[in-house]
Amino acid sequence: MTTLDRDETRTPMVVRATSGPLPVRVAVPVAVAAGVALLVAFPPYGWWPLAPVGVAGLAVAAHRRRLRAGAGLGFLTGVALFAPLLAWTNLHTGLLPWVLLSLLQAGYLAVLGAATAWVSPVVDRWRWAWPAVTGVLWVGQEALRDRTPFGGFPWGRLAFSQDASPLLGWAWLGGAPLVTGVVAVAGGLLVVGWWRRWPGPDGVWRPVAGVAVGLLLLVGVGVAVPTGAPGGGRSLQVAIVQGNVPRLGLDFNAQRQAVLNNHVDATVTLAGQVASGAVPRPDLVVWPENSSDIDPLRNAAAGARISEAADAIGAPILVGAVLAGPGAGEVRNAGILWRPGTGPDLTQLYTKRHPVPFAEYVPMRSLARKVSSQVDRVRADFVAGTTPGVVDAGAVVLGDVICFEVAYDGLVRDTVDGGAQLLVVQTNNATFDVAEARQQLAMVRLRAVEHGRAALMASTVGVSGFVAPDGRVSDATGFNTRAVVVRQVTLSDGRTPATRAGRWPELALAGLAVAALAVAGVLRRRREVTAAG
């Protein structure tokens, strides 16, 4: 059924679209297509322009629906996005953990779908509010998903789909939350132009022109911001050693001696190339997470092998190690600086602050065991560290984060606030695949732009590589192969607007999301009163 509003009664030739929501037979495939569009925006596909299209699809599907219907459509979008995006989680653990994680993450898009349906009166009353409302709702949803439960799981944030996009520059201004907001605003702009014709003789071109100007403005700002290394200048040579593992899978740590030997041997080979003059001597060598799953502080043979590598190369090595303690049955995932001649520097040791639940520690183990016996693969719970990953290597102060920690805004920002001049991500992708590794590298690219720092990712199996402060990747390695790359990097001591702002952009945008929900509540109440009167 169509209706005419006041403007249309004066211009009867222009009729607005139906006053109700999209028909269910249309809304359901649109919601699923929205999830697929969001999916292919992420690596390894990298079709980043489809992220706003996916945002727009969910907004259109949920608009003017009842809350349960909006939640259901959001859930469909979430399943279409997260099930394939997180498929790497089922490679070695079976289907159940992957299904549970995917459904949990889809639940947050169900909340977003319900919120989108709830704010329909706001965007119906002020059409140009649609981009802003869409933007803040996405930021609010991600703020919730990034923190709950068990510390959250930020994988699949809109911002992480934009590593090759001109919108990435917005990270320099406000970090990942602002990039997510901008992508969602772009999706809201698409809805403004598509949802229905505007009244008047210019009802076709006015919204199209406004949308085009808005999109060009978003892209223009992203391109124009001065991404780079603030306060940079001094440089040094850094080597990444990707030693590889004998075979991929959950039993990688059963091969721990072979993995340690691979990294030692690759470093000793590099030392020979340095001695011959073929390669410049590095000032720092970075090994990945789990490069020594034998505790080198307690196992003299493992420690001796690492010292052999450090003495041969003549430079400190940041070693990813599993350390015993502090309590019985507890272990730590750590990055420890190993100096030539003197060995481990216990004053420069970072312990991972955000162990992964159900992978590095098991909450509610007895209950979790009833769901899946796979939890017993985690024999000892990893203990969380308490201090930021600021490691002083002498020639450079490192901002060390381990594996999934790169997805968490505060864990990376704390290292820069602590004086980090170079961002380092130590990771182990031996239990996953190349898609997961490339998704993680996209996060490193965003962090480099966000904080104006050169960055690197060192993986046991790949993908490893260097990232410039403007997000460009250099010397990226292949997957499941041994590789050593050496590159000169420029250090930085400055602070970007995003670093200075900290969490305030996210707090402000999430607060606006709450305000939009409140305004919608007021409008709905007024409508009920009017209908009752």
pLDDT digits (tens, 9 = 90+) for 468-481: 999 999 999 999 99
Is residue 9's pLDDT more than 50? no
Task: Give the pLDDT band of residue 1 (cuts 50, 70, 90).
Answer: very low
Integer Cα distance of 178 and 495 in angstroms: 17
Note the pLDDT of residue 193: 82
Cα separation of 312 and 275, whole Å? 10
What mean pLDDT comes out for the span 311-329? 94
Q: Which of 206, 225, 244 marks a domain boundary?
A: 225
Query: Is residue 183 located within the same domain as residue 58?
Result: yes
88 and 32 share one domain? yes
Query: Are 103 and 74 in contact, with CB atoms under 8 Å apart?
Result: no
* Amino acid found at 8: E
Comparing 231 with 357, the larger pLDDT belongs to: 357
289 is catalytic: yes
Which of the residues 8, 142, 360, 403 is marked catalytic? 403
Beta strand 465-467 pairing with 455-459 = antiparallel
308: its two tokens: 């052999």
**Given this model, what pLDDT does residue 246 score?**
82
Q: Torsion angle, CA of 166/172/173/175, rounded to 10 degrees? A: 100
Q: What is the per-residue pLDDT across 204-226, written as a single tens digit (0 to 9) for each? A: 677 788 889 999 999 999 999 98
Q: Are 33 and 84 in contact (CB under 8 A)?
A: no
Catalytic residue among 352, 436, 450, 506: 352
- Catalytic choice (289, 360, 450, 506): 289
Whether residues 206 and 306 share a domain: the answer is: no
Distance separating alpha carbons of residues 49 and 463, to the nearest angstrom: 24
Handedness of CA 89, 152, 352, 328 (dihedral sign): negative
Query: Which of the residue ranges 48-62, 377-391, 417-431 would you say has the lowest mean pLDDT?
Result: 377-391
Decide if 405 is catalytic. Answer: no
Band the pLDDT of 327: cuts 50, 70, 90.
Answer: confident
Please, which residues bridge with residue 233 across strands?
none
% of the chain surpassing 70 pLDDT: 89
| Averaged pLDDT score across all residues of the chain | 90
Same domain for 252 and 142, yes or no, is no
- Residue 49: what pLDDT? 98
Q: How many angstroms separate the most distant Cα atoms in the chain?
A: 90
Strands 381-382 vs 330-339: parallel, antiparallel or unpaired? parallel
330 tagged catalytic: no
CATH of the domain at 250: 3.60.110.10
**pLDDT tens column, 136-179:** 999 999 999 999 999 999 999 999 999 999 999 999 999 999 99
* pLDDT of res. 369: 64
CA 214/CA 75 separation, integer angstroms: 29
User: In this model, does residue 523 exceed pLDDT 80?
Assistant: yes
Q: Find how far residue 163's CA is from the centre of its chain.
A: 10
Average pLDDT over every residue of 53-66 = 97
Residues 210 and 254 in one domain: no
pLDDT-derived band at 14, boundaries 50, 70, 90: very low
Q: DSSP strand E in 73-168: where?
A: none
Is there a single domain that holds both residue 255 and residue 369? yes
Rounded mean pLDDT, 88-105: 84
- The alpha-helical segments, DSSP class H, found in 240-351 are 256-275, 300-313
Tell me, yes or no, whether 273 lies in a domain: yes
Between residues 253 and 135, the one the model is more confident about: 135
Contact assessment for residue 324 and residue 298, using Cβ atoms and an 8 Å cutoff: yes
- 220 with 239, same domain: the answer is no
pLDDT tens-digit map of 285-296? 999 999 999 999
Q: State whether 375 and 481 are in the same domain.
A: yes
What is the band of 363 on the pLDDT scale with cuts at 50, 70, 90? confident
Claim to verify: residue 211 and residue 246 sit in the same structural domain? no
Q: DSSP 3-state assignment of 242? A: strand
In DSSP terms, 390 is beta-bridged to 399
pLDDT band per the 50, 70, 90 thresholds, residue 254? low
The arithmetic mean of pLDDT across residues 19-35, rounded, is 94
Q: Is residue 524 part of a domain?
A: no
pLDDT of residue 8: 33
Residue 326 DSSP symbol: S
Query: 114 and 137 in contact (C-beta within 8 Å)?
Result: no
Same domain, residue pair 100 and 238: no
| Angle (nearest 5°) at CA 417 between 415 and 419 | 75
Indicate whether 10 pLDDT > 50.
no
pLDDT bin (cut points 50, 70, 90) of residue 128 is confident
Q: Around 152, how many Cα atoms within 13 Å sit in the side-chain half-sphere?
A: 18
Residue 11 lies in a domain: no
Cα R_g (the chain), whole angstroms: 25
pLDDT digits (tens, 9 = 90+) for 457-467: 999 998 999 99
Tell me if residue 422 falls in helix, strand or coil.
Answer: strand
| 184 domain-assigned | yes
Residue 163 lies in a domain: yes
What was the pLDDT predicted at 104?
97
| Token pair recorded at residue 456 | 């690197």
Kindly report, residue by residue over 406-421, the tens digit of the pLDDT: 999 999 999 999 999 9
Rounded mean pLDDT of 40-55? 98
Cis bond upstream, residue 149 (ω within 30) = yes
In a domain, 372, yes or no: yes
The DSSP code for 470 is T
Residues 6+ apart with CB under 8 A from 56: 34, 187, 188, 190, 191, 194
Same domain for 256 and 374: yes
Of the two residues 431 and 308, the one the predictor is more confident about is 308
* Residue 457 three-state SS: strand
Instruction: Look up the domain containing 476 and give its range.
Output: 234-489
Q: Please determine, for residue 456, whether its predicted confidence score (pLDDT) is greater than 60.
A: yes
Question: What's the mean pLDDT in 269-291?
Answer: 97
Choosing from 472, 489, 506, the residue where a domain stops is 489
**Which pLDDT belongs to residue 233?**
74
Q: Is 495 helix (H, G, I), strand (E, B) or coil?
A: coil
- One domain for residues 217 and 72: yes
Backbone angles phi, psi at 264, to 5 degrees: -65, -50
Indicate the pLDDT class of residue 343, thresholds 50, 70 and 90. Answer: very high
Estimate to the nearest angstrom the gap between the alpha carbon of 400 and the chain centroid: 16
Residues 6+ apart with CB under 8 A from 418: 388, 390, 397, 399
Alpha carbon distance 477, 461 (integer Å):
9
Instruction: Please indicate, yes or no, if residue 511 is contained in any of the structural domains.
Output: no
Q: Is 137 exposed, middle or buried (0-12, 13-18, 19+ CB in 10 A)?
A: buried
Mean pLDDT score, 331-343? 97
Per-residue pLDDT at 18 = 43
Q: Is the pLDDT of residue 75 over 80?
A: yes
Residue 175: per-residue pLDDT: 98
Q: Is residue 391 within 8 Å of residue 335, measured between CB atoms?
A: yes
How would residue 127 be classed by pLDDT, with cut points 50, 70 and 90? Answer: confident
Closest CA to 59 of 190, 207, 204: 190
- Assess if residue 89 is contained within a domain: yes
| Tally of domains within the chain | 2
Domain boundary at 188, 203, 225, which? 225
